[in-house]
Amino acid sequence: MAVQESSDLESFAQNQVQSDQDHLPLVLVHRLPSFDIPLTPLLQSHFIVLDPHHSSHSPPNSFLYSQAQSVRALVVYGPCPLTADTIRLLPSLELVVATSAGVDHIDVSECRLRGITVTNAGDAFSEDVADYAVALLVGVLRRLTAADRYVRSGLWRLNVEYPLGSKIGGKRVGIVGLGRIGSEVAKRLMAFGCSIAYNSRKKKPSVPYPYFANVYDLATNSDVLVVCCALTSATHHIISREVMKALGKEGVLINVGRGALVDEKELFQFLTRGEIGGAGLDVFENEPDVPRELFTLDNVVLSPHKAVLTPESLESVFQLVLANLKAFFSNKPLMSVVHQE
């Protein structure tokens, strides 16, 4: 009799769990087949998660058409493009949650046309990206990667002459895009004794740094440019040949935004001809393709688009994604909403 009662209790519990799960909101994951992050298990504790790449349906659009017609919320993992065509397959979509700070891979115009709210990573990555931007600058000015190669190759033991690096303190740093990340960069470089100026879409009344309405004038008055603005049609190749020329032969360019913010062909020519002092690049226009001629330059520090990645920042963005989804399904205010430019 006791065995029967235990079995009945287990059956009741399983049915209750199933019933609870049946009432969970649907959340669609949108990602590249090769790109996955350990966010799904966290989401599965609160939502029914649909992932076309974990489905037997092929191609994924077939899955969307047959299974996701009622989906109201979609999470975009990393850099996966979200096009207008994909958005149109989701007639009930109301929310797009990006796990990245930049949303240039998302058709935000189509979302706004449809009344779909878009959120991004907000402040989750800001501190780590700012740390990385400063590290790239230190690496370029003090030639850290070149020093590493110098030691490993045995040149130190041979007493081969090693070129001096440059002091960080006192440098005039121009920040292109004084948003969350740019503000954190400024705060860190102020502690190094640098002077800060900036360019943004508009002047920020509460900011004490000098403002330049265009990047050319900012470069003219800077020793270093740190690029961390969003990529839009207006900022594509904002670091042009003219801007690099204004920065000058001793100038240093740091890019932790998007590769297409910089006219790469011009930058590579400036670097190889010695017409710019150096560069620290975490992003490239055609990732992961990087011109091989940069590999031998001691005044260039290269990084594989990893400025955002620390365990701490990933946990922070995971919690932000979860919080936004919970807020949405509870009709509460969202965090990190991407507003109209």
| Separation CA 325–CA 332 (nearest Å) | 10
Identify which of 237, 238, 232 has the alpha carbon closest to the alpha carbon of residue 217: 238
Strand locations in 172-297 (E): 172-176, 195-199, 224-227, 252-255, 278-281
pLDDT for 186: 98
| Separation CA 330–CA 39 (nearest Å) | 21
Query: Which residue is catalytic, options 57, 72, 105, 305?
Result: 305
Contact status, residue 146 vs residue 122, Cβ threshold 8 Å? no
Burial class (CB in 10 A: 0-12, 13-18, 19+), 101: buried
pLDDT for 221: 98
pLDDT along the chain (341 residues), means of 10: 50 43 86 89 95 69 76 95 94 96 94 97 95 98 94 93 91 97 98 98 94 98 97 96 98 97 96 96 95 90 95 96 98 92 54
| Separation CA 278–CA 272 (nearest Å) | 10
pLDDT for 293: 85
Torsion of CA 121, 127, 133, 138, to 10 degrees: -170
Active site includes 287?
Answer: yes
Torsion of CA 328, 329, 332, 334, to 10 degrees: -10
| Separation CA 87–CA 142 (nearest Å) | 47
117-119/95-98 β-pairing: parallel
pLDDT for 35: 85
Determine if residue 80 is left, alpha or beta; phi over 0 gives left, psi from -120 to 50 gives alpha, anything else beta: beta
Query: Which residue is catalytic, options 31, 143, 180, 258?
Result: 258
pLDDT for 340: 63
Amino acid, res. 100: S
The two structure tokens encoding residue 280: 């620290």
Q: Which helix (H) or strand (E) holds 26?
A: strand 26-30
Active site includes 72?
Answer: no
The two structure tokens encoding residue 87: 């958005």
Provide the 3-class DSSP secondary structure of residue 241: helix
Q: What are phi and psi of 106, to 5 degrees?
A: -110, 135
Query: Which residue is catalytic, options 10, 242, 250, 287?
Result: 287
Contact status, residue 224 vs residue 197, Cβ threshold 8 Å? no
Measure Cα distances from 171 to 122, 166, 280 in Å: 29, 10, 16
pLDDT for 301: 97
Provide the 3-class DSSP secondary structure of residue 224: strand
pLDDT for 9: 43
Active site includes 258?
Answer: yes
Identify which of 162, 338, 180 has the alpha carbon closest to the alpha carbon of residue 256: 180
- Identify the structural domains of the chain with CATH numbers, from first to last: 2-124+311-329 (3.40.50.720), 126-302 (3.40.50.720)
